[in-house]
Structure 1
């Protein structure tokens, strides 16, 4: 699970940049699995699947499009997903981002947690 400390965030969006680089090998922040939601002039909020133990998203999915990877990470099967976003509504944090159609689930960069590693202010932290 990843925790976010809003007070430590500067809104630099490095988390979005490293996420898109890790997954798409280029800077493509609109497709990043973590989103910085700007609330200028105040510091905004970072939205991402925290991979919480409750897994309310999986229970809410009527198509069983969500599954656990061998590493225990919630993943989306887009072939089964009907984009109803009930998983997003069920998120206890209310912060599951979408790409405009489908929900976006953090895959922890295969356990490498790149957003946590590269956050210059350590606003993102890994919890066990």
Structure 2
């Protein structure tokens, strides 16, 4: 009986802490153009554990496939913010934001307006 209870406890614990190696999620990332797309996707992909990253210029949605055992959305957001792009969780530093190309300055209303035309 003790062996059965021990086995049950091990299985239950393992199931509770199991993490998905192909987790899917999406986060909103600010940007305005194809240069932003390239920068955002590269930053996400360079995060250990990220298998796929596709950012949509129109919706600002970054769709991800990643290994939850190696990373999480907060780490991915931090990596994207480090190259100058704000996410809902993490805002890029002024230094990182100012490092992006002038056409990619999504906080500037004039730049955003130029990309809508």
Structure number with the higher strand fraction is: 1
Structure number with the higher helix fraction is: 2
Report the TM-score range of the alignment, normalised by the length of the smaller protein: 0.3 to 0.5
TM-score normalised to the size of structure 1?
0.31
Tell which structure's C-alpha radius of gyration is larger.
2
TM-score normalised to the size of structure 2?
0.33
